[in-house]
Amino acid sequence: MSADSLHYKSITEISGLIRRGEAKPSEITEATLGRIAKLDGQFHGYAHVLAERAMAQAKQRDAEIAEGIWRGPLHGVPIGLKDLCYTSFAPTAGGTTIHAKFVPSFNATIVDRLELAGAVTLGKLKMTEGAYTSHHPAVQTPLNPWNVNYWVGSSSSGSGVATSAGLCYGSIGSDTGGSIRFPSATCGLTGIKPTWGRVSRHGIFPLADSLDHVGPMCRSAADAGAMLGVIAGADANDPTALRAPVPNYLAGVGESIRGLRIGVDRRYTQEGIDRQVVAALVQAERTLADLGAEIREVHFPPYQKLVSQWIAMCSVETAEAHLDTYPSRKSEYGPDLAQLIEQGRATSGVDIAAIHHERLKFRQPLRDVRGYRSPVDPDDAGADPDSDEDERVRRRPQRPPEHPALHGGVRLLGQPDHHAADGHGVGPDAAQHAAGRPASVRRPAGPHRRGIPVGDGLAYAAAADRIARRR
């Protein structure tokens, strides 16, 4: 089988080839490493490529298959790890320069689980500094394979690039305010932000512990389910990890969604949003209804206040996470992460109490709906899609100039602009996230007329990650 016929196959397809003996893990890994050598110099998705170790792992997987040992759907499948996952076999910088040479003494729980399940680790994937919004000025920014002039998404930028470009079959991302969902949307992937605690965060470099989630980024929903089934579950090393049983996500692929209640707030899905995105959402809604889902009109509470508080909420926990190096090594930080930490150090306990109360108020009205739909438009800025000004904003690879904090996340959601008191722009998804709204799925909804992906999304009730497999 030629290398060119392998690199865009799904995890489930590759797994089938391996199990049937039609392809060897070593062949697949060698082909993928060759593709990385050819293309990653153009897209810059990897922080570290572990070619020698990956080939050794792959040959071990070959031998196991020859002996009749099959570890599961990830056996022999090459994957990438976001560089905030602790690895005892490679540096874990978390997108910083301060930790560029930090090699942990242990692996993150999810790393051990993936490798125990037979996955082959190709390397560590680039990310924004500290998992916030911007890449450190000294780090080469990953570029979107769909169009290098467009935003790649943050903070799991390398995960989006590598998975989309066929430089791995699936990857790990993390999400504090959109960092799985944004790059999944902009790079045409399916990403899952699981329920908080569904996946252990032991050995994961934090941005804000109470908001951080770890999840898969893949090229299909089934692939995401295969990875989630491996990394999810209780962990003695993480007291916040949920003890709820982990279902077999792949067993439900193709299962009926008849009776599934999906809420739609048309203010979110239509007002101020690019017309092509609206059309894609309407068509998806019709398809879901045809498959038996119950579409219900819902009205979310106003999200603007909670959105404006997201940065303050995140900043306090980020400041705590960086106590060992900030302010003692302040000069080594990039400007955006340093600004976030400074805000956290200045935020009062009274402010945090007010934010907590706002989270609770926003959460209550969402409890009766199992799923709700939201738009993700990685292209449109919410203004005239054909205007010169709009084009100028969209084609800034780092961030739109009006939004120094979240790279225009609001614009990428197709929503009107909302600004915190300090001028930072954040999106409505941050409100759902901050309110504790659990499992969220981003998936492709077709190409935009400008040739880059349009995404849509669903979020689910608590511990309802199993529903995501039906997507």
Indicate whether 183 belongs to any domain. Answer: yes
Other Cβ atoms within 10 Å of 278 Cβ, number: 18
Flag the least confident range among 10-19, 219-228, 246-255, 432-441: 432-441
CA angle 214, 147, 274 (to 5 degrees): 80
Token reading at 162: 């590598």
pLDDT band at 378 (very low <50, low <70, confident <90, very high): very low
Indicate whether 20 belongs to any domain. Answer: yes
Q: Cis ω on the peptide bond leading into residue 327 (within 30° of 0)?
A: yes
Determine the Cα–Cα distance for residues 200 and 441; give it in Å rounded to an integer: 18
Other Cβ atoms within 10 Å of 215 Cβ, number: 32
Indicate whether 210 belongs to any domain. Answer: yes
CATH classification of the domain holding 228: 3.90.1300.10
Indicate whether 61 belongs to any domain. Answer: yes
pLDDT value at residue 373: 54
Percent residues over pLDDT 90 in the chain: 63
What is the distance, to the nearest Å, from the Cα of residue 469 to the centroid of all Cα atoms in its chain?
16
pLDDT band at 374 (very low <50, low <70, confident <90, very high): low
pLDDT value at residue 395: 35
Whether residue 390 is predicted with pLDDT greater than 50 in this model: the reply is no
Determine the Cα–Cα distance for residues 45 and 427; give it in Å rounded to an integer: 25
Indicate whether 468 belongs to any domain. Answer: no
CA angle 180, 396, 132 (to 5 degrees): 35
Flag the least confident range among 168-172, 207-211, 287-291, 432-436: 432-436
Determine the Cα–Cα distance for residues 121 and 338; give it in Å rounded to an integer: 32
Whether residue 348 is predicted with pLDDT greater than 60 in this model: the reply is yes
Determine the Cα–Cα distance for residues 412 and 186; give it in Å rounded to an integer: 9
**pLDDT average, residue stretch 150-172:** 97
pLDDT value at residue 444: 72
pLDDT value at residue 65: 97
Whether residue 422 is predicted with pLDDT greater than 50 in this model: the reply is no
Domain range spanning residue 17? 3-252
Determine the Cα–Cα distance for residues 180 and 224; give it in Å rounded to an integer: 12
pTM (2 decimals)? Answer: 0.85
Whole-number Cα distances in Å, 156 to 85, 130, 214: 12, 11, 11
Number of domains in the chain: 1
pLDDT band at 276 (very low <50, low <70, confident <90, very high): confident
pLDDT band at 272 (very low <50, low <70, confident <90, very high): confident
Indicate whether 358 belongs to any domain. Answer: no
Whether residue 406 is predicted with pLDDT greater than 50 in this model: the reply is no
Which long-range CB contacts under 8 A does 251-255 form with residues at least 24 apart?
252/225, 252/466, 252/469, 252/470, 253/221, 253/222, 253/225, 253/469, 253/470, 254/470, 255/469, 255/470
Indicate whether 244 belongs to any domain. Answer: yes
pLDDT value at residue 462: 54
Indicate whether 91 belongs to any domain. Answer: yes
The one-letter amino acid code at 338 reads: A
| Catalytic annotation, residues | 82, 155, 179
Please write the tens of the pLDDT for every residue from 304-323: 788 888 999 999 999 999 99
Whether residue 280 is predicted with pLDDT greater than 60 in this model: the reply is yes
Whether residue 410 is predicted with pLDDT greater than 50 in this model: the reply is no
**pLDDT average, residue stretch 219-248:** 96
Flag the least confident range among 83-97, 123-137, 413-427: 413-427
